Structure 1
Amino acid sequence: MIPDPIPLQEIRRVLVIKLRHHGDVLLTSPVFSALALAMPQAQLDALVYEDTRDMLTLHPAIHQVHSVGRNWKKQGVSVQLREEWRLLRTLGARHYDLIVHLTEHWRGAWLCRWLKPLWSVGPAISKHGKRWKKSFSHRYDHPKNALRHVVEANLDALRRIGIQPDSSERRLSLVPGEAAQDRIQDWLTEQSLANDGFIHVHPASRWFFKCWTSTGMAELIASLQAEGWPVVMTAAPDPAELALVEAIQTALRQLGARPAHSLAGQLSLKELAALTAQARLFVGVDSAPMHMAAAVGTPCVALFGPSGERQWGPWGVPMRVVSSAQHSCRPCGIDGCGGGKVSDCLVSLSVAQVRQAISALLTETTR
């Protein structure tokens, strides 16, 4: 579509909407940086799901983070209506001049109609029909492109209204905060771990078809420990993720190696960011913690299978992607081969491949 600039100097308040998962929300952080530089007079707000708020809170360019509860419906009609009305009143009181909608979620279109900003930009989704089209003053192309990073796709919304972000505005931003940093520093001191003196391993994703094997991860950790690298493992408090960590620890014992340091299930999102910011290297799979590591500037080694690294890889940091060259079918985006939750292109990766990537990145980078 042809760029159709808006008068940026007239904008006083902006709402950016991203109702997706943690990693998706974090990958919108450059949008706020670019908006802040293009219109420094404007206050920038975000609307995200409640559980993803910490991906954007404390961002230096963001004034307020509003949220939608994923569990509103489960609490009954009266609770849902009350919360929805409260949110509409809160957003209405802000009198937004511009709304930037970054997904196909219908809530963004309805909010544009309800809040009536002077300008609104959303993705061009032909299947949504005329009602969607008429909800926005500007629409940007939104193709599914596995060769283009999601960060750039998000920034297309700004290009549509005349903002051309430069390289400095494309960086991710994630601020852990002083409380999280203090807790992690205290823990590292207790464990006699030096800043930049350990490797952070996050073996799980909420989507288990993106995960490597527990035995492979255990062998990798044992090899790192043998070379003098302490390893700190993390995971979400989800039972399946905790079970994966325990399987890795069990495999380490069977190998005759000591268990890794573990904070699995014990950290908030901000504390996870503070931990990975102090690591020499992050090792993991395509997941929100991988994006968090990139956002705080930690070099990343990422294992990719069904998902595509060009679209979802670590952004803006020194990194290595380990993937299978023998599986021409990837990236397929399927939840395991045949929908079986196990991805051949991932489980076939060797420990030697991953170890080689780690060695190369350690040699090339300093912290």
Structure 2
Amino acid sequence: MGVPAGTGIGPVLEKFGGVKRIAVLRGGGLGDLIYTYPALHALKAAYPDATITLLGTPVHAAVAGATSGPVDDVVMLPVARGVHDGPRNGERFDDDAEDVAAQEEFFEAMRAKALDLAVQMHGGGRFSNPFLLKLGARHTVGTRTKDARPLERNLDYVYYQNEPDRWLEVAGLAGAPTVMSPPLRPRPDYRQEVAGLRDQTRSALVVIHPGATDPRRRWPASNFAEAAASLAAEGAQVLVVGDRSEKALAQEVVELAVRRLPATDRQAVRSVAGELDIGELAALLAEATVMLASDSGPRHLAQAVGTPTVGIYWVGNAFNAAPRGRSLHRVHMSWVTHCPRCGSDVTQVGWTAPHCGHDDTLIKGIAVADVVQDVLDLTATSLLLRG
């Protein structure tokens, strides 16, 4: 039934026969999608004649459309509890956001595709497994907690596991051994769009992303600013990125950095937050010498396009999302396990305990000088590799 160890992260079971149409369920944001790409490449290699349809979100469609990759098409998920959130009322899912009619229309359309294999890569399955089973696929594979409905082949879900490895294990259950994942390649037109952002008079291009969906994962703006100023003083061009909601944060980093620099270096640091679509961001990251960021979707995208990264992580997120290698990626990790304000255990928040209500950063104590040195070290490595 299985094959020898070493052909995948976990056991690789027999392939399913006659697979021509595969659907992969993956909600969430940019980073959530990037986690699945090694597994998607494995599925494409194992079933080269099959089409892979990603059941995802608008940002997923944008990434798939802007880069090369194993995804053939993307179908938008309807709003559904635990699968694709609509508008939220604070931390609570808004029941009024669910559109049962839209869900049934979605399931009817998917059943009409006569799927051969449906793969669940979205959490522990409490909500996503019943959703997946409504697709009507001949075979189903995915993760499950003890209280989730079983699929045909199941991987026990424990929260603290490296996310790409988790989905590679799921792919293995579907008969797909781990393969070498090529970098995502931004389309040439996106590369042309961002070419004018590069200042060729500077020795390197460092892209900084100071944001993160969870405020507790954010390194302080003042720390990013100090790092940006130090890198500019070493001759680098620094571009600060972010989406529209992060424009003020990005500008704060720039303004604090510029105050530290002499007039001759001040133009080397600027913000392009809110100015780039996802394809342009991917192209900019592909051109960057190094990326510096907290644990965030853009950092994962930089890694996916082959750019060295320096990431600043809270320990729990490092278990799940940090790169495993250190030749091209460096990880600075905070070991804080309790809320700095009230002392609550933050290692269980969202899984077995409620959020304490405080969003104080958990990674404040990571030293700027150590981070800057890693960026400089990787800059030398990156420039050497690019000739």
So what's the TM-score if we normalise by structure 1?
0.84
Is 1:290 the counterpart of 2:303? The answer is no
Identity over aligned pairs, percent = 22
Code of the residue aligned with 2:19 in structure 1: it is I
Report the equivalent of 2:250: 245
Report the equivalent of 1:16: 24
Out of 345, 365, 378, which is 1:348 matched to? 365
1:65-214 aligned within 5 A? 65-70=74-79, 80-103=99-122, 104-105=124-125, 108-128=128-148, 132-133=149-150, 136-145=151-160, 148-166=161-179, 168-169=180-181, 173-188=183-198, 192-193=199-200, 197-214=204-221
Pair 333,350 (structure 1): closer, same or farther in 2 beyond 3 Å = farther
Code of the residue aligned with 2:254 in structure 1: it is Q
Report Cα offsets for 1:188-220 as digits up to 9, x if no partner: 3xxx44798311111111222111122221111
Is 1:362 the counterpart of 2:379? The answer is yes
Pair 4,176 (structure 1): closer, same or farther in 2 beyond 3 Å = closer
Report the equivalent of 1:54: 62
- Residues of 1 paired with 2:261 and 2:12: CA distance? 64
- Residues of 2 paired with 1:308 and 1:341: CA distance? 15
Query: What is the Cα deviation at residue 293 of structure 1?
Result: 0.3
Report the equivalent of 2:341: none
1:284-323 aligned within 5 A? 284-314=293-323, 318-323=328-333
Provide structure 2 residue ranges, at least 5 long, that are not aligned to the other structure: 3-10, 88-93, 339-344
Code of the residue aligned with 1:97 in structure 2: it is D
Pair 315,44 (structure 1): closer, same or farther in 2 beyond 3 Å = farther
Query: What is the Cα deviation at residue 79 of structure 1?
Result: 9.6
Higher helix share: 1
Query: What is the Cα deviation at residue 277 of structure 1?
Result: 0.5
Query: What is the Cα deviation at residue 116 of structure 1?
Result: 2.4
Query: What is the Cα deviation at residue 256 of structure 1?
Result: 4.2
So what's the TM-score if we normalise by structure 2?
0.80
**Would you say the 8 A contact 1:195–1:278 is kept in 2?**
no
- Residues of 1 paired with 2:133 and 2:31: CA distance? 28
Pair 89,291 (structure 1): closer, same or farther in 2 beyond 3 Å = same
How many residue pairs align between the two structures?
349
Query: What is the Cα deviation at residue 233 of structure 1?
Result: 0.7
- Residues of 1 paired with 2:189 and 2:224: CA distance? 31
Provide structure 1 residue ranges, at least 5 long, that are not aligned to the other structure: none
**Would you say the 8 A contact 2:12–2:176 is kept in 1?**
no
Root-mean-square deviation (Å):
3.2
- Residues of 2 paired with 1:48 and 1:209: CA distance? 26
Report the equivalent of 1:25: 33
Pair 334,213 (structure 1): closer, same or farther in 2 beyond 3 Å = farther
Query: What is the Cα deviation at residue 29 of structure 1?
Result: 1.1
